[in-house]
Structure 1
Amino acid sequence: MKTLVIVTHPSIETSVINKLWVEELKKYPEKYTVHELSKVYPDGNIDVEKEQKLVESHGNLVFQFPIYWFNCPPLLKKWIDDVLTYGWAYGSNGGDKLKNRKVALSVSAGIQKEDFSEGGKYKYRLEQILVPFEMTFLYCSAEYRSFFAFYGAESEPSASKLEKSTRDYLDFIDNM
C-alpha cells in the first residue's frame, strides 16, 4: 500500500524545504499520496469521515510539518483532535484503525540542531518536543517510527544541503 504523507504548512508557497519535499514526493505517485491539509481545508473545517477513509486506504503514515511554536501548525493539531476519534483510532470498542500501522514525523526547524540541546538556546532536544506525538500514536497502538528533521531552514541552506535532505527524506520514508 502507498504511504500517505499528510502535509501541514501554513504557507507552503513560501517554504523552502517543505515545498521541495512535496515536489519530490509528487514525482512518485505510485509510492506516495501527498495530502496538503492547508489546501484541502483552507477554512479549517475538516471532513472527518473523508479523512478516516483516506487513512484507511493507505499503509504507512507520515506527518510533515514545520516546527511551529515548538509544536505543529494549528490545523494539524485540529486534524489530530478531530480525526483520531474514540472507536476509530483508539478505545475499548473497536478503535483499531491505527493499530500496528507505521507512523512517522517529518519536520523542519528554522533553527540549528545545536539550539535544540540541554546546553543550547532552547534547552530541549527535538525528540523531547515531539514526545506528545509519539505518545498519541502509541496510545492509538500505532508503530511510531520516530522522525526525520531538517534543521536551519531560516539560515538559507545551500542547494547541496537541500538536495541531500530530500534524498535522505525519501530514504527515511521508504525504510520506516
Structure 2
Amino acid sequence: MKIIAILAHPDLKASRANRALCQELQRSGVLLHDLYGAYPDWKIDVEQEQKLLLEHDRIILQFPLYWYSSPPLLKKWFDDVLEYGWAYGTGGDKLKGKAFMVATTTGGSDKEYRSGGFNRYTLSELLRPIERTLTRCEAEFLPPFVTYNTTKATDAELLQDARRYAEIVRMPLELLIS
C-alpha cells in the first residue's frame, strides 16, 4: 500500500506537534508532501498533484485546525486539484475507492470539542465539509486522527501520539472502518 501525507502547515518549524507527527510518518515509510514548502507562491501544479493522488492508495491530509477548518492553502488545493471531470462529475472518477484520512492538531482539549463543550461541536462535525468533498469524489473517508491539547503537551506526550499516528496510518482498511 502506497501512502502519502499531504501536509498543510504554514509554519511547520514552529509546530512541535506537526513536526513530531511528520517525523514518525517518515520513519514508517510514508511519503510527505509539504504544500507550503512546494508552493510558497500558491501556484499549485495541478497535474503534479493529481499524479501524486493517482500514485497512492491512501492519502492523509495533515494540518493544524485553523478557525475550525483547514489552512487556506489546503482549501485552494481542494479547489484547484479536485476538478470537475477528474475528481467528480461526468467522467470524474479518479479518486473512486481511494482512502483519505484527515490528521489534525488542535490546542484545545478533547473535552472542548464535544457537543455542548467550549467549541460546541465535535471534530467530526467540524470536518464534515472535507468529508463530504471527498465522498462526493467517491473516495473512502476514514476516521480522523486528532492530536488534542498540543500547546500543553510535553515532548514525550507528542512523541507517543506521533507513534500511535504512524501506526494507525498504516493499518489495514478493514481495521480502520470496522
Q: Given the two structures, how large is their TM-score scaled by the length of structure 2?
A: 0.93
Q: How does 1:38-77 map to 2 (within 5 A)?
A: 38-77=36-75
Give the drift of 1:173.
0.5
The CA distance in 2 between the partners of 1:154 and 1:163, in whole Å, is 14
Separation in structure 2 between the aligned mates of residue 28 and residue 115 of structure 1, nearest angstrom: 31
Give the Cα–Cα distance (whole angstroms) in 1 for the partners of residues 107 and 42 of structure 2. Answer: 25
2:164 aligned partner: 168
Instruction: Look up the match of 1:15.
Output: 15
Relative contact order (alpha carbons < 8 A, sep ≥ 6): 1 or 2 greater? 2
Q: 5+ residue gaps in structure 1?
A: none
Distance 2:56 2:119 in 1: 36
What is the TM-score when the length of structure 1 is the normalising length? Answer: 0.94
How high is the sequence identity, in percent, across the aligned residues? Answer: 40
Aligned partner of 1:2: which letter? K
- Count the aligned residue pairs: 172
1:113 maps to what in 2? Answer: 110
Question: What amino acid is the match of 1:68?
Answer: Y
**Residues 116, 123 of structure 1: 8 Å contact kept:** yes
Q: Deviations over 1:38-69 (max 9, x none)?
A: 00001111010111011111111010000001
Distance in 2 (CA, whole Å) between partners of 1:78 and 1:121 is 29
Query: Please, which of 134, 144, 166 is the counterpart of residue 131 of structure 2?
Result: 134
What do the CA deviations read for 1:118-169 (whole angstroms, capped 9, x no partner)? Answer: 23111111111001111111100001112000000122x1233112201110
Aligned counterpart in structure 2 of residue 159 of structure 1, from 136, 146, 155 = 155
RMSD: 1.1
Gaps of 5+ in 2: 174-178
Match of 2:121 in 1: 124
Provide the C-alpha distance between the structure 1 equivalents of 2:12 and 2:119, rounded to a whole number of angstroms.
25
Separation in structure 2 between the aligned mates of residue 9 and residue 140 of structure 1, nearest angstrom: 24
Mapped partners of 1:137, 1:8: distance in 2: 17
Q: Tell me if 1:34 matches 2:32.
A: yes
